Amino acid sequence: MDRLRFAGHLGLSAPDRPLLAHIGRSVDPLDQIDALADHGFVGVQDLFLKLRPPSQQAAMAERMARRELVLSSFGGDPMHWNSPLWSAEDDAGRSAVDASVRASCDLAMLFSGTGAVCVAGEDSERPRRQQFAAMTENLKRHAEAAARAGLVLLVEPIARSRIEGLLLDRLEDGLDMVRAIAMPSVRLLFDIGHVAMMGHDVLSALALCEDATGLIQLADVPGRVDPGLGQLDLPAILRQIMTQGYGGPVELEFEPVDQTAEGEARMLSRLARMIGS
């Protein structure tokens, strides 16, 4: 691999705010898939995929296959992402996890493999270590079924300074969880922006997590801004990702600061310069 490959999103804060909202013909997912393919992307992230009608999901899978794009990830539980779903210990909660994973497996088979982002809210009534153990067990319980479907369960630590009330707010906890499960269908989602907001040196953290990382997301800090508009040494970070031999797409997980066609074009130009630097 002589250069990094990128995935663009179909909406982060809302499904009508995709990465290339103004460059694409419209914000419709099919138009956005075409726009991403036309601008050299290799993958698509869709946090809202599970909320789309089955007919639209099927049309998206067909269009992505035709344009040779992969579904890099989708939101595993878009309606319950900040609830303690994944740390459930009761029968009703575990049944909800079972149903969620079955639906994720169906999507993985439709899109010929993908990753589901697994985030859990913190339950104030239970000790955190108990919740960690329960989430670990729930992920491990579904790891074999996920593998058969071509699904990777992506464990994402999220900085508390960015979003409060989530169970995994330390990189170390997510890494420990993935290593404890020790199965290739459960991997770490390494979000460069969140890792930086946690106070880590991103280069050191990438090396620490190399063996456990299943997907990498990119945003600059402070905030979540376009690469090159913040404080991170992204050319060095991108070089290290290549040096470590990461073979998947890097998801661009930010909304462009300048939300115009010209702003989106400048964002893409800055990214191209970083890759070449």
**pTM listed for this prediction:** 0.97
pLDDT of residue 275: 82
pLDDT tens profile 119-160: 999 999 999 999 999 999 999 999 999 999 999 999 999 999
Find out whether 146 and 179 touch, Cβ atoms under 8 Å: no
* Whole-angstrom distance, CA of residue 27 vs CA of residue 32: 6
pLDDT tens profile 224-251: 999 999 999 999 999 999 999 999 999 9
Rounded to an integer, the average pLDDT of 29-54 is 98
Q: Which helix (H) or strand (E) holds 252?
A: strand 250-252
pLDDT of residue 2: 56
* Whole-angstrom distance, CA of residue 130 vs CA of residue 111: 35
Which domains occur in the chain, in start order?
6-276 (3.20.20.150)
Angle at 118 between CA 74 and CA 208, to 5 degrees: 105
Find out whether 15 and 253 touch, Cβ atoms under 8 Å: no
Residue 4 pLDDT > 90: no
Q: What is the DSSP string of 52-69?
A: S-HHHHHHHHHHHHHTT-
